[in-house]
Chains A and B, each alone.
Chain A
């Protein structure tokens, strides 16, 4: 198992390098460097900056170095936790994104849990009672859930609750807590607001998961080991939960890998619609104002998060599925 984890982590390294290169490229893509933007901002507000000062800044940020040196400098700083400087906010990037990343992680974890808790029983029900009217209904609901993108669902929900329930569902905190320091009351307030984005981002995935579970389980129910277990005298409920469901869950664990990027994508855009204090809106505004260090760091961190999530899901999969675990031991 340990050998498997180490091997799996070594595979991550080239992926991380590639991610850093792509993120750096995105930072470098807009014409000019961020000093150009800075100068433009200064002159727009009427302040001037002389050439000597500009050169000094250029030197200080290493912008006079060749591009690969800048890249290594950036990566090195990143590893040390220095994510650069946001010119729009005139603050270190790190101080801006910490809490927002944490909230993104919180929402994605909750969404993942929500998705599993809802889709597992429904998926099992749909498979065991295949072709019942409930199965058809759930399949239909699943299609709608699949076809409605997160942000449109958010938009519809926003409109519905505003127009018919007379309440605004945006944000993650009540007004009095937005600027407040963390406290238990603020946490409770967060939980009160959290379910809306979780519901919005989770619905599509729940629908997808139900389909996967139903399909997997239908395959597994036909396997001979189910008959074996039945021939032993196990009760139907216990049998289904203990054997085919257990086996059908394995491929589901491996889907966490590709679910995470989609969840984070979904949260990013839903957050813009619902105006949540997560990474999405800040990333958007950073991109709009070409505050590229902020934007690049966001993209880099979100991608690293998904890589780590994939790693966790692979380890989980090896843990739940002896076939993978032992396969790894043999080949390692």
Chain B
């Protein structure tokens, strides 16, 4: 079966005067239609760049230097083919016809993700009319319908509202409506709940799940919040310093995480059974120098388990299969002669 999206060894580098930032450095994953892949990592781990590179909207001077982004397409006979998004012209007609149509994206800041001087409705209608040959009246009707689907009350009225007239939650719903109005097969959600209240977060996640059931799109859910990820994802990718540290189905990850970084992340999430007024665990230290080119484990130095063993620093990074669909990149686990 051909997955909706198959990313292989993706590398996105930012070539700056000060040096090269390896924002994404060899990431592979795939996602099936109707399924959700959660991508979790700290800020600066490169998880947003993964989303941007799939859409080919990485801000300059970022460049895809290697890898394939295989998007499943249908040819005329209804047979699946694969289109490599990494190879097409980023501003070209083909890329533009895929953006918004096949792959849509929603963003973190609902306040600033809409143009403040255009109505929300007109921005949704624009997305629709870019990709579908519909009359203005038809576009408007479908927009109202979509606004109703994402749970915006009085959609006929709200279609003429400016972004600043809507609440944060409503704006994020409108954002989702804009992303889904062309019925894309892949939805990339980049921290869609981070700027929202906890109750609204839950509503938005429920909404996304409901819409996924209805439309059957694949979702790439990017977040720093493991709690939110666990709510929605089927599989989880733990990203650190542009590399995958662990890749597992969500239940496996939460039950038997192997990588010290994943474990540290899990410890820092407050659970219902965490004693009140106890200190939450934090991860000591900060991300490595962004310009550094680290051959071994990038978590070396912050890791609580490797105890300074040089094999962690020197052994080349590699992702190893440890279970049916469980991959981990930790020399302590994967290197046979670890001592």
Contact = CB atoms under 8 A, between A and B. Distances in A.
Interface of A: 223-225, 227-236, 243, 246-247, 250, 320-323, 326
A326 B165 contact: yes
Contacts of A231: 55, 57, 99-100, 104-105, 107
B91 A232 contact: no
B126 interface: yes
Interface stretch (B66-74, B110-118, B241-249, B305-313): B110-118
Contact of A229 (B55, B109, B115): B115
Contact of A228 (B96, B113, B117, B164): B113
* A227, A228, A250, A323 — most chain B CB neighbours (10 Å): A228
A236 B90 CA distance: 10
B96 A234 contact: yes
Contacts of B97: 233
A326 B100 contact: no
Nearest to A247: B117
Contacts of B175: 228
Contact of A247 (B105, B116, B130): B116
Interface of B: 52, 55, 57, 91, 96-101, 104-105, 107-109, 112-118, 123, 126-127, 130-131, 162, 164-165, 175, 178
Contacts of A228: 105, 107, 113-114, 175, 178
A321 B117 contact: yes
Contacts of B178: 228, 232
B112 A224 contact: yes
Contact of B162 (A227, A243, A323): A323
B99 A233 contact: yes
Given A223-B112, A234-B96, 16 more contacts: A224-B109, A225-B113, A227-B52, A233-B96, A233-B101, A233-B131, A234-B126, A234-B130, A246-B117, A247-B117, A321-B117, A322-B116, A323-B164, A326-B162, A326-B164, A326-B165
A294 B296 CA distance: 85
Minimum-distance CB pairs A-B, first 6: A233-B100, A233-B99, A232-B100, A231-B105, A233-B96, A224-B112
A232 B126 CA distance: 9
A233 B107 CA distance: 15
A227 B175 CA distance: 13
Given A230-B99, A232-B100, A243 B115 contact: yes
Given A224-B107, A227-B57, A323-B164, A235 B91 contact: yes
Nearest to A221: B59
A27 to B, nearest CB: 45
A3 B55 CA distance: 46
Contacts of B131: 233
Contacts of A233: 96-101, 127, 130-131
B32 to A, nearest CB: 22
Contacts of B99: 230-233
13 contacts: A224-B108, A230-B99, A231-B104, A232-B99, A232-B104, A232-B127, A233-B99, A235-B91, A243-B118, A246-B118, A320-B117, A322-B162, A323-B117
A236 to B, nearest CB: 5
Given A326-B164, A326-B165, A230 B113 contact: no
A129 to B, nearest CB: 12
A143 B109 CA distance: 37
A225 B57 contact: no
Contacts of A229: 115, 123
A228 B105 CA distance: 8
B120 to A, nearest CB: 11
Contacts of A230: 57, 99
Contacts of A326: 162, 164-165
